[in-house]
Structure 1
Amino acid sequence: MSETQTAVRAVKPGAKPASGREKFRARREARGAWSLLAPSLIILGVMVGYPAVLMVIQSFSDYTVKNKVQGTLPNFVWFENYVDLFTKSDFPAVLVRSLALMVVLTVLIVVMGTLVAVLMTRLSRGWRILVSVGLLLAWAMPPLTATVVWGWIFDTQYGVVNWALNTITGTSDWTNHSWLLNPLSFFFVLTIIVVWQGIPFVAFTTYAGLGQVPSEVLEAASLDGANGFKRFRLVVFPYIRSIMTVVLVLQIIWNLRIFTQVYALQTRGGIAAETNVLGTYLFRQGVGEFGATAAIGVVMVILLLTLSWGYVRTTLKEEEL
């Protein structure tokens, strides 16, 4: 029992005031809890807190590699880095592009992953194992390796996609066709890669959540005449809402922080200036411009916290109930 609970109990009408022994036990339990949490809090402070504070401080300065080499202190420029970021760079275009890509990827991954999970509930044991193995293989492949494989599939000279299109159309129009030079086709290839690797996580997580839905409730809804879509929306979804919320927030964060696949495709022929997202834009900024890049990092952190704040509030409310 914590000190707060002890105090609340003491002021309740008709309740006995807490004895000295109970107060001592509560303080001892609180000290024990803080002693167990202390190592984790120290590690978080060193690994997360210190870099975050340092990044915020540097974002208000003109800190460059010159200051680091010469050992001189940078000048504080306050909000100049942020003003330049939104007025003298192409960061706004990159931000809009990243948000649009995040929305498309998140919708496709969540919808298709959920459909795969529902399909797995209808398959026999053998087919379910086969589908699970296929999903695991896609999920276990490192992002860089997956991008290289898909890059060869869409390769200009040796890609199987160009060959298949030439075979289907009976022409040679797709010979030496580059899928990465055009920004739209670049993001089409990127979407295939990211969605292909993102579906397994959603499918496995949702499939585990579907096991919590009582079969009796589904049978009752079916007897009442509810079709498959209504059963999922009105019966199944309320049971897995918390799980889907976590999945949705994680997908938003992961898809907004995407880097490896974009950078790997850019090195295979994509035009970086027209295909940059937040991660690659930050990476490609001026070498040693620590103040400007720190400002980009702060904006990204604020954006991610804003997008995930709804999930945090929901979690806190559920814990209070």
Structure 2
Amino acid sequence: MSRAVRNGGRRLAPWMLLAPASIMVLIALGYPLVRQTIMSFQHFGLEQQFGKPAEWAGLSNYAAIVSDPYFWSVFLKSLLFCAWTAGMTMVLGIGFAVLMLRLNTLVRAVFNTTLIVVWAMPALASLTVWQWLVDPRSGLLNYFLTSIGLQDFKNFHWLGENYWTFYLIASAVIIWSSLPLVAITIYAALSQVPGEVLEAAQIDGASNFQQIRRIMLPMIGSVISLIGVLQVIWDLRVFTQIYVLQQAGGIASETNLLGTYVYETGIAKGDYGMASALAMIILLLTLLLTARYLKMLYRQGGMN
């Protein structure tokens, strides 16, 4: 076999290994994406589900969305909710990661195990527990608040009183479920900071707080940024927690975020064309954030 043939085989080998996985991804994700894109430009309702040809809508679905004040209300709530949950998750995650550095081995192992159990818990199971905690009549939260003298919280309906209290509970649920992964990831990065750097800083008189603030956190800044961007992407697309809590007593029309708004438009109202257009808008936002994530990922890997 000639050298040219062998070199050609070596060049093709990586592509041949990637081909099966790439084909599967294109089939699993490519077709639904193309179908969703086409439907976003059509009037596609329940009749089309039973075979009636869809009418071409052009940009009318998108025009109806951007001219609807309710969409902008949901959009603004989604951005603010995402900023709050992602921000608090990162702040608490960094705090827990720093705390784990200061714990002894046994306590840290217990702490890590607890975080992993919380992270691995199925979403519906954890949501059931949260609904028990905020139950108006027998929930632990109302019992605790009334036991310390806050009688206004007797039989208080956290999920149905108004959208502020609903979002407060929903954000607590999302932060609680997202915190373990953030904390463990940042702790793993912090534990890789060279010990000689910290020793030199300690010799120079740097306190523990100064070491964390001025040395350790800046050194893992790329990891924190990557996790932060991913957290924003996840929280912008949140659906399960909001939907389940709405079914438990939330006011859906006032508490919709982008994920539940798409579901309500498509499944509940049967307007799949409009729902597809909404999903494409969410996809655009996600792609913008993903582009930033990929840029940061390449920068971290030393790629240009």
Q: Is the TM-score greater than 0.5? A: yes
Distance in 1, Cα, partners of 2:15 & 2:179: 40
Give, in angstroms, the shift of residue 22 of structure 1.
Answer: 5.9
Bigger mean CA deviation after superposition, 102-111 or 160-169: 160-169
**One of 171, 189, 194 as aligned partner of 2:174:** 194
Distance in 2, Cα, partners of 1:25 & 1:93: 61
**Alignment check: 8 A CA contact 1:259 1:279 kept:** yes
Aligned to 2:138: 158
Bigger mean CA deviation after superposition, 135-144 or 76-85: 135-144
- Are residues 1:112 and 2:95 paired? no
Give, in angstroms, the shift of residue 229 of structure 1.
Answer: 4.0
Which structure has the larger Rg? 1
**One of 282, 302, 311 as aligned partner of 2:293:** 311
TM superposition score normalised by structure 1: 0.88
**One of 42, 59, 64 as aligned partner of 2:23:** 42
**Alignment check: 8 A CA contact 1:213 1:236 kept:** yes
- Are residues 1:57 and 2:33 paired? no
Cα deviation 1:35-93 (Å, max 9, x = unaligned): 11110111011011111111111111112221231x23212211110110111351111
Q: How many residue pairs get matched?
A: 300
> Quick one: percent identity of the two aligned structures?
35
Cα deviation 1:133-164 (Å, max 9, x = unaligned): 22122212212221221111111111122122
Aligned to 1:178: 157
Give, in angstroms, the shift of residue 226 of structure 1.
Answer: 2.8
- Are residues 1:320 and 2:303 paired? yes
Displaced runs of 4 or more, over 6 A:
none
- Are residues 1:246 and 2:226 paired? yes
Secondary structure of the residue aligned to 2:297 is helix
Give, in angstroms, the shift of residue 232 of structure 1.
Answer: 2.6
Distance in 2, Cα, partners of 1:164 & 1:68: 50
Distance in 1, Cα, partners of 2:15 & 2:63: 42
**Alignment check: 8 A CA contact 2:230 2:293 kept:** no
**Alignment check: 8 A CA contact 1:61 1:78 kept:** yes
- Give matches, 1:1-321, under 5 Å: 23-69=4-50, 71-88=51-68, 90-169=70-149, 172-180=151-159, 181-285=161-265, 286-317=268-299, 318-320=301-303
**Alignment check: 8 A CA contact 1:148 1:264 kept:** no
**Alignment check: 8 A CA contact 2:41 2:277 kept:** yes
Distance 1:185 1:35, change over 3 A: same
Distance 1:315 1:172, change over 3 A: closer
Secondary structure of the residue aligned to 1:320 is coil
Distance in 1, Cα, partners of 2:60 & 2:206: 59
Distance 1:26 1:249, change over 3 A: farther
**Alignment check: 8 A CA contact 1:81 1:295 kept:** yes
**Alignment check: 8 A CA contact 1:266 1:272 kept:** yes
Counterpart amino acid of residue 277 in structure 2: A
